[in-house]
Amino acid sequence: MTRYSTAFKLRVVRYHEQQDDGTRQTAIRFGVDHATVRQWYAAYRTHGHAGLAKRYRCYSVDFKLQVLSFIAQQGVSARQASAIFDIPAKSTILTWQRRYEVGGVDALISRPRGCSMSSSKKPPNADHKPPGEMTSEEMKEELAYLRAENAYLKKLKALAQSKSSAAEKKR
């Protein structure tokens, strides 16, 4: 998905306000989807310039429930709710609705994303105690960590060797 600058969004919204072309013609003129123009315009009308700024947020469970109950009580669409609550994409709200229908409130709890390898644990004795000062439990933890690290490095080396041998066979 293409990311647009705030200045570009503002230019599109101002053009849409000043011209009587409608969202489809504005979208064609600027080369964006008409639904995107409609979304930017609604966000700008509701929140001003800040509604067009790039935002990266983590929403609380209470906020998600507030948005979902507002939609249910007021009968507004996800697009309208995203403009009212300053949520960048209506798909975020649709995802919350699906999760809530399937798993209830527990499904709305944010879970950390990303590769599990990048969030690997630090070695148990990150402060580098000498072995004589470590308890037997700390030594067992460090031993398990070092064994796992060693196994990982062996597999990495084997993978690199198999790739290089496969490259030599192609020649």
The predicted-structure confidence for 153-164, as pLDDT tens digits, reads as follows: 888 888 888 877
Write down which residue in 111, 141, 158 finishes a domain: 111
Asked if residue 35 and residue 68 are part of one domain, the reply reads no
Asked if residue 50 and residue 74 are part of one domain, the reply reads no
pLDDT digits (tens, 9 = 90+) for 89-104: 889 999 999 999 988 8
pLDDT digits (tens, 9 = 90+) for 49-106: 877 877 667 888 899 999 999 999 999 999 889 888 888 788 999 999 999 998 888 8
- Residue 122 within any structural domain of the chain: no
| Of 129 and 139, more confident | 139
- Residue 70 within any structural domain of the chain: yes
| Domain hosting residue 22, numbered range | 1-54
- Residue 90 within any structural domain of the chain: yes
Asked if residue 70 and residue 102 are part of one domain, the reply reads yes
Count of structural domains within the chain: 3
Mean residue pLDDT across the chain: 82
Asked if residue 2 and residue 44 are part of one domain, the reply reads yes
- Residue 34 within any structural domain of the chain: yes
Asked if residue 106 and residue 72 are part of one domain, the reply reads yes
Asked if residue 75 and residue 38 are part of one domain, the reply reads no
- Residue 121 within any structural domain of the chain: no
Long-range contacts of 78-86 (CB under 8 A, 24+ apart): 79/35, 79/38, 79/39, 79/42, 80/42, 82/39, 82/43, 83/39, 83/42, 83/43, 83/45, 83/46, 83/47, 83/51, 84/46, 86/43, 86/46, 86/47, 86/50, 86/51, 86/55
Please tell me the pTM assigned to this model: 0.47
pLDDT digits (tens, 9 = 90+) for 119-129: 455 555 556 77
Asked if residue 60 and residue 44 are part of one domain, the reply reads no
Asked if residue 96 and residue 144 are part of one domain, the reply reads no
Q: Report which residue type is found at 27.
A: A
150's CB contacts (< 8 A; 6+ apart) are none
